[in-house]
Structure 1
Amino acid sequence: MLIDSARELKARLSARLAEGFPAVTASGLGGRLWTRPAIGLAPVAPGRVHLAIRVAAPDDARILLTGLDDAVRREVDVRVTGPIRPLAAPSPGELQRRTRPLVPGLSVAHPTVSAGTLGGFVRLGGRLAVLSNNHVLAAADAGVVGDAVLQPGPADGGTSADRVATLAAVAPLTGGANRVDAAVAILEEGVAADPGGFPGGPLAATVPDGLEVEPDEEVEKVGRTTGHTRGRVSAVEVDGVAVQYDDGVHVFDDQIEIEGLAGPFSAGGDSGSVIWRSADRAPVALLFAGSAQGGTHGAGLTFASPLSAVLAALGVEWVAS
C-alpha cells in the first residue's frame, strides 16, 4: 500500500489495540502471555510499504492476527522478535581497550554498568561531551548528574582511574511512551577526543530530521562489541517497541528498525552507537536495543531512536569533527 495509506492504517490499528488490550507486559518474562505489538512501516517496493508488526512470541502473533480482517492481513509483515533488550553486555575486542584520544565506538559506561558504546560527540553549554544511552551512562536513571563515566567500561576492566567524563544531562525513562534512551557526559579536563574518528572519517555535520530516514536505506555503525557493521532500515515510525530493562518494560514510539545485511547488525554492548547513512554519511540514529530473533537472516533486529530527537531531548548540538 502507499505510505500515507499505511500510516492511516497504523493509526487505526494502534487505536484499536489501545482500546482492546491492557498495558504492556513482557511475554516470557513473568508477565501475561499477550504483549501489545510494535507497529511501523516496512518497504516492499518504491513508494509502497506493508505494515510492520513485531511481536515478542508466536502466541502473540496468533492472538493479533485472529483479530484482523483479510484485507488488513494481506498488507502486514509480522515478525517474531523474542524479548527486546538494551544492548549492554561484556565481550572481548579492540574497542574494549583503554584508548586515548577518545573516538566513537569505544567501550564506555557508568561505574555501575557493564559496558556500552561511546556513540559520538556533542556540545553542551559550549563544552565537548560524549553521547550514549541513558542505560549506559546513567545506569537507566539510577545515576545522577555529576557521576563518573569510565573508558573502558567496568566489564572491560575500567576503574575509577579511567574516568573520562562527568554525567551532565539525561533523558529519563518514563512509564509512558518514550522517544529516546540517551544521556551525555562532559569530558574531563585534559582528556583528548577525536569526534571525526569514525571508520572512513568524519560523519556529516548536519543531522537529518528523523522523518527523513527512509525504509530500505543502507546504514552503518561502529560499536564496542561487533565493531563496524552494515545494515538496512527495515521499518520506520515504529510505535510500541517494548524493551525489557532491569527495572521492567519501557515502551518506545517513533523508532527505527534495522537488520544486518549479512548477519547481526548489533549485539550486547553496542548500545549507544551512532548510526549513519551509507549514501551520504549523515548521522541518523542512536542505537539502544535489539532482539535475538527476527529479520531476513533470523539474526535479530536492532532498534534506534532518530538522532534529531535525541539531540532535541538533551539540548545538545552534534559535533562532526
Structure 2
Amino acid sequence: MDPDAARELKARILERLPSAVEASSAPGERDAPWPWVAVGLSPTSAGARVAVRLQRNGDRALLPDLGRVAAEEVDVKVIGPVRSLSSPGELQRRVRPLRPGLSVAHASVTAGTLGGFVRTASGLAILSNNHVLAASNAASAGDAVLQPGPSDGGRTADRVATLTGFQPMAAGVNLVDAAVAALDEDVDVAPGDLPGGPLLATVPARLDVDPDEAVEKIGRTTGHTRGRITAVEVDGVAVQYDALSSPQGIYRFDDQIEIEGRSGAFSAGGDSGSVIWRSRDRAPVALLFAGSETGGAAGTGVTFANPLSTVLAILDVEWCEDRPPPTGRTLASGS
C-alpha cells in the first residue's frame, strides 16, 4: 500500500476507536483515558501497512470493521503492557569521562541511561528521559543528577549534572519523554565514545517508511543491541509509569517509533534514555523511553522511542556528536 493511503487508513481507525471503546466498556471499567490500542505505519517492500498494537488479545474487538480489502493491509500484534524502562537491572559502575550508555538518574529515581549530549544556550548538557532525569514530573530545576544512578550505587558525591529542563508529561497527548541536565564544572565527557565511533552531527527531520531499517543503541542494562524499525508514526501508545499510580500514571504518546530486536529483546528496564542510531549511516534518530516484555516477531517485546528531531525541537537544544561546545569545555577523546 502507498504510504499516504496507509496514513488515510490509520486515520480512519483512530477516528472510530473512541466510539468503539465506549460501546464495549461498562461504566467505570476503563482504566485509562485512551484504549490500549496504538496505530502506526509498518514499512514493507511495497510501501507500508497499518500497524495496530494491542495490550490484550480481547482488544481486537475494539477495531472497527474496515472491510476485507482494507483489513488485509492491517498488521495486528498483541504486545502486552508498555512500561517506562527505568527499573533496576545489571549494576553499572561510576565512569569518567561520561559517555553515552552509562547509568544515570535523578537522585530519587532508580537508574536509566545517559543518551547523549546536547548544546543549550548555557553550555553542554546530558540528554535522557523526563522519567530518568526529572522523576516523572516530580523534580525541580536545580536538582542533582547522579552517575551512576542510585540503584547502581550512586550517591551525592557522584553528582555530575543539574536538571535544567524537561517536557512535562500531560494528561492529553504527549510527543516526548525527555529532559536535559547541565553538566557540572570539571566533569569530562566523551560524546563520541560509542560502539563504532561518533554518530553523525545531523539528526534526520523525519524517518522515511523504509522496510527493515536497521538501528542500534547502547543502554545501561542490555548494552549494545541491534534491531529494526517495525513501525513509525505510531499514535495512541499508552505507557504505564511505575512511579505514579493508575490512571494518572498512564500517559498517551503519539508519533512514536516502534523497534524490535534482531536477536532477543532490543531493550530492557534501565535502558530508558538511550539514543538510537541508524546502522547504515550512524545518524541519531530516536530517544528510547518505553517497551513491552511480550509481542514482536520473536515474542521478546517491542521498544518505543521518540523521534530525536522532535525531542531536540521541544527542548530547544542542539545535538552534540563529538565536537567541543562553545563554552570551551575540553572533551575527552573517544575510545
Which AA in structure 2 matches 1:306?
Answer: P
CA deviation vs aligned residue, 1:142-163 (integer Å, no higher than 9, x gap): 0011000000000100001100
Distance 2:277 2:207 in 1: 15
Which AA in structure 2 matches 1:192?
Answer: D
Quote the residue 2:47 is aligned against: 48
Quote the residue 2:333 is aligned against: none
CA deviation vs aligned residue, 1:35-94 (integer Å, no higher than 9, x gap): 34100111232x422110001011112x1346443222211111111110000111225x
Which AA in structure 1 matches 2:320?
Answer: V
* TM-score of the pair, normalised by structure 1: 0.93
Aligned length: 312
Distance 1:16 1:318 in 2: 39
Which AA in structure 2 matches 1:223?
Answer: G
Quote the residue 1:88 is aligned against: 86
Indicate yes or no: 2:148 matched with 1:152: yes
Alignment check: 8 A CA contact 1:65 1:73 kept: no
Where in structure 2 are there 5+ consecutive unaligned residues?
Answer: 323-335
Per-residue deviation, 1:19: 4.2
Distance 1:31 1:182 in 2: 25
Indicate yes or no: 2:163 matched with 1:163: no
Deviates more, 1:66-75 or 1:191-200: 66-75
CA deviation vs aligned residue, 1:95-147 (integer Å, no higher than 9, x gap): x1100000000000001100000000001114010000000000000001100
Tell me which of 111, 114, 127 is aligned to 2:110: 114
What percentage of residue pairs aligned between the two structures are identical?
A: 62
3-state secondary structure, aligned to 2:106: coil
3-state secondary structure, aligned to 1:155: helix
* TM-score of the pair, normalised by structure 2: 0.89
Quote the residue 2:286 is aligned against: 285
CA RMSD, 1 decimal: 1.9
Quote the residue 2:299 is aligned against: 298
Change (3 A) 1:10 1:66: closer
Distance 2:206 2:64 in 1: 33
Distance 1:90 1:198 in 2: 22
Quote the residue 2:327 is aligned against: none
Indicate yes or no: 2:239 matched with 1:238: no
Which AA in structure 1 matches 2:107?
Answer: P
Counterpart mapping for 1:1-321 below 5 A:
1-22=1-22, 31=31, 35-45=35-45, 47-61=46-60, 63-65=61-63, 67-93=65-91, 96-212=92-208, 214-245=210-241, 246-247=243-244, 248-321=249-322
Where in structure 1 are there 5+ consecutive unaligned residues?
Answer: none
Distance 1:121 1:66 in 2: 43
Change (3 A) 1:162 1:30: farther
Alignment check: 8 A CA contact 1:179 1:252 kept: yes
Change (3 A) 1:299 1:257: same
